């Protein structure tokens, strides 16, 4: 059986490391909030991440099925709905997914 002192030491160490790793980004980001770099990254990073995810998804879909046209139409529907509906993500992704599924069912 483990020594209780050893177990407490391990738990305290794990807690301290976890707390430090969670708190460190907030402590560092505080002074940088007015930095031009952080402001630009906050504006562009979400779109960049979504673009990379969309490209990876499209690539795997096209490689798997070979159906390029339904995927591109669904992407176009998603973008148009997103831009015209006040950037409602759930609505645009839902309609884009529904379009893709409907087109696959028709083809």
Residue 95 has pLDDT above 90, yes or no: yes
Q: Could you give the C-alpha distances from 82 to 28, 29, 59, 86, 93, in angstroms and in order?
A: 34, 31, 22, 7, 8
Tell me what pLDDT residue 89 has. 86
Give the mean pLDDT of the chain: 88
Q: What is the pLDDT of residues 18-57, one digit of tens each?
A: 999 999 888 887 788 888 988 898 889 988 888 898 888 8
Query: Which of 1-5, 10-14, 99-103 ranks highest by mean pLDDT?
Result: 10-14
pLDDT at position 65, please? 67
């Amino acid at each position: 059986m483990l020594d209780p002192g050893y177990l407490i030491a391990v738990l305290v160490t794990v807690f301290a490391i976890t707390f430090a790793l969670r708190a460190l980004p907030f402590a560092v980001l505080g002074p940088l909030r007015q930095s031009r770099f952080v402001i630009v990254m906050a504006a562009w990073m979400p779109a960049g991440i979504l673009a990379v995810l969309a490209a990876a998804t499209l690539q795997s879909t096209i490689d798997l099925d070979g159906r390029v046209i339904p995927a591109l139409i669904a992407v176009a529907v998603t973008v148009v709905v997103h831009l015209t509906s006040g950037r409602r993500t759930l609505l645009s992704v839902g309609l884009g997914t529904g379009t893709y599924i409907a087109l696959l069912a028709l083809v």
